[in-house]
Structure 1
Amino acid sequence: MTDGVRMPRSYAFRTTTFDREYLSLELLKRIEVVRGPASALYGSDGMAGLVNFITHEPADFLVSKEGDAPKTLGGRIAAGWSGDDNGHTLAGTVAGKASDSLQWMLTATTRGAHAVDNMGTNDEPNLNRTRPNPQDDRDNAVLGKIVLRPHAAQRHVFTLEHVQKKSDVDLLSSRNSLPLRGTPAQIAGAIVDEYSSRSMERNRLTWDARFGLGVDWADHVRTVIAVQQAQSRQVGTSVRNTLPLRVRDNSYAERTWQAGLQADKILRSGGWSHKITYGLDHVRSDITNLYTGLAPLPPEVFPLKRFPDTRETTSALYVQDESVHGDWSLTPGLRYDHFALDVTSQAGFYPPAKQPGQSLSGSALSPKIGVLYRATPQWSVFGQYSAGFRAPDAGQVNGYYENMAEQVIIIPNPALKPEKSRGFEVGVRGRLDRLSLDVAAFTSNYSNLIMDTVLIRGTGTAADPRIFQTINTERARIHGFEVKGQYDWGRVAGGRLATPFSYGKARGVNRATGMPINSVDPAQLALGLKYDTAAWGLRLDMRHHAAKTAKDIDSASSVKLPNTQFTIPSATTLDISAQWRLRKDLRLNFAVHNLTNRKYWLWPDVYGLAASSATNDAYTQPGRSVHVSLVMDF
C-alpha cells in the first residue's frame, strides 16, 4: 500500500510481466511492515503480511531547528549517484505554511540509470552473454499535498501522486550465435536483433480526513477516498534472419476506487480499558489488457486478450478491541470479507479462447487475537493467532494462452477456490538498559493454496501438448523464527557505539506431496556496528545468506525434466557507510556495498533456472559499488 491505498495488482503471462514497480523511493518518508495476515484492520488477503509506504507531509519540512523561529517555508534538495547502475538522482521539495489552518507541499524527482551490474564475465552479443544488456531507465515523479485544519478537531489531507517510468533495453543476450546453425527453419527464424521498451504510469488522488467527534459511538472518525489509475505497456521487437519482423505490443490498465470509513472509541470499566476500532472498506478495480503486434505464433491472431475485461470488488466490515488490564493486553478482532470477480466484456477474449470467461464470488470471516503479558518492566511475552483469506485474480481464473509452436497451452480454472491461512506466533520482547531484544516463532497453515501455472498433463508433442493451469493444492505449512535487536555499548571515544543484529529462518512444505515450497527464502543473518558523533556517523553491516540446497527445493515444479533447479551457495557480504554532517542543514552520505566484491546469487532471482545452464552468472548480484548523496534542508 501507499499511504493506505492499495498498489496495483501484478500479472504474469509467460514472458510478459506487469509488476508493482509503480513507486518512486524519493517520495517516501518511511516504510511500515506488518508480518502475517493482519486481517482485522488492513485486509485478510495479505497472507504473508503487508508493506505500507508512507510519503512525506508538509510538517516534515517545516519543523524549526533548535533555537530557530517556526518555519513558514522550507524544503529539501537531494542529489545522488549509485555505482551499481550508474544512476543519477535529483529530488526537490518545497513546503509552506499559508496560515494556521493550511499547509502545502510539492515534491519532484527525476532519475536516470542503466542496467544493474552483475558479476557475469561473458560480454558476447548473443545467447552466451552473462553481462547485463545495454539499458536506459528514466523515472519521474511528482507528489503534491495540501493539509487543511479548519479547527483542532478536523484534519484533511489531499494528495496527488504521479509516477512515470520508462526503460529501453537492447537484448543482446537474445541473439543467436554466429554463424547460424540448425535446420533451415531454425536458421530462417534465428534472432539477429531484439530490443524492448517498457513504460509504466500511476496517478493517485486521495482525500484522507480525520474528525474528532467525542460522541457516544465514536471519539474519532477517519475517512479515506482514493482513485488510482495505473497502466503499463511492453513492446518487444524481434528481427529474424529471413522471416518477417515479429512485434509484441502488450498493455495492461487498472482503474481503482477505494473508500474506507473507520471509527474508534475508548471505554473504561473497572480495571479494564478498551479501544474499540471498527469500520468498513470497499475497493473496486476495473482491469483490462490487450495483446497486439506483428507475426503472432499460431494459432493466435492479434489483437487478443489473455483474460476478459474484469471488475474486481472487495467489501469488508471489521472490528477490533485493544483491551488492557493491569499487565495484560488482549486484542481480539474480526473481519468479514466479500469478493466478486465479474467479467464485464468477452470482446477480444472469447473467441479466440475456447470458452468464455467466468465470474466468481465468495466471502469469509477472518478472526484474530493477540495477547501480551508484561511479566516485568523489562520483559514481556506475546502471542497471536490470525486468519487470512485471499481470492484468486482474473488472470488465475480466466487466463488463456496457446502456442502450438512450443506445444504449450495455459487453460483457465473457473473452479479455483480462495486460499485460506491460519497463523500462530509466540515470542518474547526485552527492553533492558543496554539490550533491545525480540524473539518470535511462527507457523502458518494454508488450505487451497493457489499455485500458478502448474503442469497438469501432456508430453509436449503436437498430439499431446503440455497443459498448464493454476490450481489449488490441498494443504501447505510454513514455519520459522526470527531474532532481532540491538546492543548499546554506550559512550566510546566521544561517540556512541551500538550493534544491531537479526537472524531469521523459515521452512515450507506442501503437505499434499511432502515436498518443499520453493518460494521460501533461505536463512539470513545480519550483524552491524554503528558509531555516531555529533558531526559524523559510521556504520559497518555484515549480511550472511544461507545456501539454498537441493533438499530444500522441489525441482520438478520449477524446471522442466530432466533438468534440475540451480542451487545457490551461501555468501557473506560487507557494506560500509558514513554520514558527514557538514552543517546542521547539509549532510553528505557515502557507502560502499559488497566491500569484498563477493560473487553471489539471491534465491528469488534464480528460481526456475536449470543447473545445467551456462548463463546463470547473468543473475548474480552486483560486485563492489559506491553510492554517494548530498542532502540540503532549507
Structure 2
Amino acid sequence: MRLHPLSLALCLALPNAVLAAEAPEAPEAGASEATEFNRVVVSATRTERVIADVPNTVDVIDRVRMDETLTRDLKDLFRYEPGISVTSNFGRFGLGDIRIRGLSGNRVRIQTDGIPVSDAFSIGSFSSANRNFVDLDTLKRVEVVRGPTSSLYGSDALGGVVSFVTKDPSDYLKDGKDAYFGLKFGYESDWSGLSAGATAAFGGERWSGMVAVNHRQGKETENMGTVGGEGSQRTQNDPQDRDGRSVLSKLVYAPSDTQRFKLTVEGNEDSVDTDLLSMRGLQALTGANNLLVTGNDHQARARVALAHEMGEVGAGFADSLDWQIYRQDSETTQDTVEVRRTSRGVNERREREFNFDQRLYGIQANFHKDFDTGGARHTLSYGLDVSRTETRQKRDGRVYNLDTGRVTNAMLPDVFPVRDFPISKTTTAAVYVQDEISLADDKFRLIPAVRVDRYELNPQSDAIFREDNPGVAISDLTKTSVSPKLGAVWHFADKWSLFGGYSRGFRSPPYNDVNIGFTNLQFGYTAIANPDLKPETSNGLEAGVRFVGDAVHVSVSTYYNKYKDFIESFRFIGFNAEGLQVFQSQNIADARIYGAEVKAGVDLGTLSERMQGWSLHGAAAYARGDDRTADEPLASIDPFTATLGVAYDSNVWGAELAGRFVARKDRLPSATTPGVPYRETPGYGVLDLMAHWNFAPGAKLNAGVFNLADRKYFDAGDMPLVSASSVIVDRYTSPGRNLAVSLALEW
C-alpha cells in the first residue's frame, strides 16, 4: 500500500473545507481554546507570544491533551504530530531519538525548563545511552519549534527544539485554593504497564510549594511478531521487567506580586532487565553458541535549579528579567552477561559493563525591554547562557573460563577497561539578542536575531585512556559560531497572515568525534584526533500562510534546509608508518531536506448550534531529503504522514476517533550488497478511539483503544535498513490492538 486512499482524500479535502467555511470574527489572542494558533508559546521567540504571531512552525501539546491521548512515553506524545517521530529499537534498548524533519539524535535540542537533557551516545551492540530522562507525567506543556533554531538556543538545534515545561504550584492552586492533593492511576496493555502518582501542593500569600511522585512498572512492549523461542530468527520482543520512578518538587517564594524565586529539585530513574532470547544460539560471526544472554540497564537524572523572575524591573536596561543557575547529573549504566560455549569447546562467562556519565553546571539570564522608535514598537530580548559539562564514558569487562576458573580482562578486540574517548570537559558561553519590531498597528512584525557561541573542549587523558591508546595524541578544540535569524509575520487581512524567514543552525564538533579513542595492534587499526573539525551548519528557509478564526484555523507551510559539513565518525583515511589502518572523524557530508506541512481544525459547534461540542482536526507532513555527497536519499526522512480526528466534548464527557495514515517509504539509499535492495516500509492506516468522563467532582476517567482494527504495521522510524529478503522484519512491527486507561482524583 503506497498511500491509504482515505488519508489522501481527507488531507486534500480538509484544508479546502476549512478555508471555504464562513467563521465569525477572529477572537483576541488567547480568547478561544478551540483555536490552535491562539495558544501562547515561549520557545519560538523566548517571549510569550501566540502562535499566530511567531515566524516558525510551532507545536504545543498541553497537559489536557496528554491526558486525553493517554500519553505514556515519547512515541505516544508525538503520535498525532506528522513531521515529528520517535524511533525505537527491537529488544533491549527500546525508544530511541526524537526526529524532526529528518534530523534526530544530538542534532535536536531537548530541554527541560530551559536546561538541556544529556547527550545520546552508543557504540557496539551492548552500549546505548539514550535521552529518555523525562517523566511525562510531571509536565504541563511541551513546545516544539521545527527547523534550525540556533539563533536562540545554540548548538544541537539543527533540527529544532523540544522544550519540556514542568508543573508549578500555581497550576494546582487556582480559584483561591491554598492546598491541593491528587492521585493518578494508569494501565496500558501493550506493555502490561501499571503506573501510580501522587501530587500535593500548598500555598499562601508569599510561599507555595509542591511535590509530585510517580512510579511505573511493566513488561516488554508487544509487537506482532509470531516467532518465539531462542535465536536470531525470533521476532517477538525479548522478555523484560521494567521499573521506574520520578519526583518533582518546587518551592516558590514571591516577595511581591511582580517577582518570585523558585527552587526546583527533580529526579528520575528507570531500570530494565532483559532476557535476550534473540541472542542465544549459534553466532554466525564467532561460531560460539550462546546459552544465556541477559542485560540490566539503568539510567538516572537529577536536577537542582534556583530561578528568579521579575516582572517590573523599572530600569533602563530591562522591563522584565529572569535567570537561573542549575546543576544536572545524568548517568546510564548497562551490564551484559553472556554464558556461551566457544567454537573451540571452551565454556565461558562474559561480563560487560558500560557507563556514560554527564555532569552539567550552568547559568542562564534573559532580559526584555519594550520601547518605541517613530512608528515602530520594539520588544528587545537579550541574554546569556554559560555552561560547563564533564562527560565520562567507560567500558569494562572480564571473561571467566568455566572449565579452568581462569579470569581475564581480554575480550578481543578490547582489553578492558577502555574509554572510547578521553574524559572531556566542554565549556560553552553564548550571548544572544533579538528585536521584535511591530509596524503598522501590529499588522507587520519583523524579528531579527543573532547569537554568538563560544565552544571549548578540554580533554583529559587518564591512565585508562593512555593504556588503551598508547601514543595517541588528543586535541583541544575552540570554535566560535555566529547564528543569525530573520523572521517576519504579516497580518495582511482579517484572519489571514503570512509568516516565514531565514535561520541558521549549527552543532559544535562532539567530544567523541574530535578524540576517537581506539587502537588495536592485533587487528591492525588505530584512530587519531581531528582538531580541525568544523561545526555542522545549516541554512533554512521557511514560508507559510495561516488562517485564524473562532471556528477555523489552518496553517500551510513549506521549508528548505541545506546542511553542510556533517561529521562522519570512524572514517578510513589510509595507513600510517607502522602499517596500521587509520580512522578519523571528518566533515564530509552535505545534505538538503525540504517539504511541506499542513495543520487545520474546525470547531463545528461555532458554525452550527446543532453541532455544539463537535470538532475536526487534522495535520499532514511531506518531506524529501538527499545526501548530496553520496547522491543518495536520506534514510532518516519519514514518508508522507497524515492524521485526522473527529471529536465530541461536553462538560461531563467526550470522545475522539483519530486516524493515522502513512505512505510507503520507498526512497532508500543503495544497499551495501549489490542487487539486494533494502526493504521498503509498507504504508498503513490505523484508527484509535479515546474517551474521557468526569464522573464526579474532581474525578476523571480516560480510556483509549489503539489500533482498533488490530492492524499489522511498521512505524517508519522503527524499521532499520534491512534486506528486502529478510525473514525477521516482523520484530519491528508496532503493537496490535491495545487498551490504555487512567483514573485521576483530586481535591
Any conservation in 1 of the 2:468–2:519 contact (CA below 8 Å)? Answer: no
Q: Which secondary structure state, in structure 2, belongs to the residue aligned with residue 604 of structure 1?
A: helix
Q: Which secondary structure state, in structure 2, belongs to the residue aligned with residue 130 of structure 1?
A: coil
1:202-241 → structure 2 map (5 Å cutoff):
202-211=301-310, 212-241=312-341
| Structure 1 residues 122-180: Cα deviation after superposition (integer angstroms, max 9, x where no partner) | 01122211111110010110110011101123211110001011000000110116xx9
Q: Which amino acid aligns with 1:203?
A: A
Aligned: 1:286 with 2:399: no
Residues 142 and 13 (structure 1), Cα distance of their counterparts in 2 relative to 1, 3 Å cut = same
| Structure 1 residues 236-258: Cα deviation after superposition (integer angstroms, max 9, x where no partner) | 01101233211110111110001
Quote the residue 1:615 is aligned against.
728
Q: Which secondary structure state, in structure 2, belongs to the residue aligned with residue 554 of structure 1?
A: coil
Q: Distance between the aligned counterparts of 1:465 and 1:617, measured in 2?
A: 41
| Structure 1 residues 321-353: Cα deviation after superposition (integer angstroms, max 9, x where no partner) | 001011210000010011111102333112322
Any conservation in 2 of the 1:346–1:357 contact (CA below 8 Å)? Answer: no
Q: Which has the higher contact order (CA 8 A, sep 6+)?
A: 2
Any conservation in 1 of the 2:540–2:560 contact (CA below 8 Å)? Answer: yes
Aligned: 1:18 with 2:134: no
Q: Which secondary structure state, in structure 2, belongs to the residue aligned with residue 350 of structure 1?
A: helix
| Structure 1 residues 303-328: Cα deviation after superposition (integer angstroms, max 9, x where no partner) | 11111000011110110000101121
More moved, 190-199 vs 345-354: 345-354
1:610 is displaced (CA, Å) by: 3.1
Q: Which amino acid aligns with 1:10?
A: A
More strand by share: 1
Aligned residues: percent identity?
32
| Structure 1 residues 420-474: Cα deviation after superposition (integer angstroms, max 9, x where no partner) | 111000000101343200011001111112234556679xxxx999876543224
Aligned: 1:521 with 2:638: yes
Quote the residue 1:569 is aligned against.
682
Quote the residue 1:351 is aligned against.
467
Aligned: 1:263 with 2:398: no
1:561 is displaced (CA, Å) by: 6.1
More moved, 614-623 vs 492-501: 492-501
1:599 is displaced (CA, Å) by: 1.1
Q: Distance between the aligned counterparts of 2:654 and 2:152, measured in 1?
A: 38
Quote the residue 2:698 is aligned against.
585
Quote the residue 1:548 is aligned against.
665
Quote the residue 2:402 is aligned against.
none
Q: Which amino acid aligns with 1:116?
A: T
1:397 is displaced (CA, Å) by: 1.8
| Structure 1 residues 191-246: Cα deviation after superposition (integer angstroms, max 9, x where no partner) | 11100000111100011111231111111121111100111100001101233211
Q: Distance between the aligned counterparts of 1:380 and 1:319, measured in 2?
A: 25
Quote the residue 1:7 is aligned against.
117
Quote the residue 1:67 is aligned against.
none
1:283-362 → structure 2 map (5 Å cutoff):
283-295=387-399, 296-326=410-440, 327-353=443-469, 355-362=472-479
Quote the residue 2:567 is aligned against.
450
1:412 is displaced (CA, Å) by: 5.0
Quote the residue 2:738 is aligned against.
625
Q: Distance between the aligned counterparts of 1:134 and 1:492, measured in 2?
A: 53
Q: Distance between the aligned counterparts of 1:467 and 1:613, measured in 2?
A: 33
1:414 is displaced (CA, Å) by: 3.9
Structure 2: gaps of 5 or more residues: 1-110, 400-409
Q: Which secondary structure state, in structure 2, belongs to the residue aligned with residue 132 of structure 1?
A: coil
Pick from 588, 602, 606: which aligns with 2:715?
A: 602
Q: Which amino acid aligns with 1:415?
A: D
Q: Which amino acid aligns with 1:589?
A: N
Pick from 261, 266, 273: which aligns with 2:377?
A: 273
Residues 466 and 443 (structure 1), Cα distance of their counterparts in 2 relative to 1, 3 Å cut = farther
Quote the residue 1:40 is aligned against.
151
Q: Which secondary structure state, in structure 2, belongs to the residue aligned with residue 581 of structure 1?
A: strand
Q: Which amino acid aligns with 1:603?
A: A
Quote the residue 2:593 is aligned against.
478
Q: Which amino acid aligns with 1:570?
A: G
Any conservation in 2 of the 1:198–1:235 contact (CA below 8 Å)? Answer: yes
Residues 310 and 48 (structure 1), Cα distance of their counterparts in 2 relative to 1, 3 Å cut = same
Q: Which amino acid aligns with 2:426?
A: E
Quote the residue 1:250 is aligned against.
354
Any conservation in 2 of the 1:494–1:533 contact (CA below 8 Å)? Answer: no
Q: Distance between the aligned counterparts of 2:552 and 2:581, measured in 1?
A: 57
1:298 is displaced (CA, Å) by: 2.3
Quote the residue 2:235 is aligned against.
130
Q: Distance between the aligned counterparts of 2:522 and 2:232, measured in 1?
A: 20
Q: Distance between the aligned counterparts of 1:328 and 1:517, measured in 2?
A: 37
Residues 155 and 127 (structure 1), Cα distance of their counterparts in 2 relative to 1, 3 Å cut = same
Quote the residue 1:436 is aligned against.
553
1:108 is displaced (CA, Å) by: 0.4
Q: Which amino acid aligns with 2:118?
A: P
Q: Which secondary structure state, in structure 2, belongs to the residue aligned with residue 396 of structure 1?
A: helix
Q: Which amino acid aligns with 1:214?
A: G
Q: Distance between the aligned counterparts of 2:188 and 2:584, measured in 1?
A: 41
Q: TM-score, normalised by structure 1?
A: 0.92
Q: Distance between the aligned counterparts of 1:438 and 1:370, measured in 2?
A: 16
Residues 406 and 240 (structure 1), Cα distance of their counterparts in 2 relative to 1, 3 Å cut = farther
Q: Distance between the aligned counterparts of 1:470 and 1:349, measured in 2?
A: 18
Q: Which amino acid aligns with 1:138?
A: D
More moved, 566-575 vs 609-618: 609-618
Pick from 169, 185, 204: which aligns with 1:79?
A: 185
Any conservation in 1 of the 2:604–2:612 contact (CA below 8 Å)? Answer: no
Any conservation in 2 of the 1:61–1:76 contact (CA below 8 Å)? Answer: no
1:107-118 → structure 2 map (5 Å cutoff):
107-118=212-223
Q: Distance between the aligned counterparts of 2:359 and 2:619, measured in 1?
A: 40
More moved, 30-39 vs 200-209: 30-39
Q: How many corresponding residue pairs? A: 614
Q: Which secondary structure state, in structure 2, belongs to the residue aligned with residue 534 of structure 1?
A: coil
Q: Distance between the aligned counterparts of 1:494 and 1:36, measured in 2?
A: 37
More helix by share: 2
Structure 1: gaps of 5 or more residues: 65-69
Residues 86 and 304 (structure 1), Cα distance of their counterparts in 2 relative to 1, 3 Å cut = same
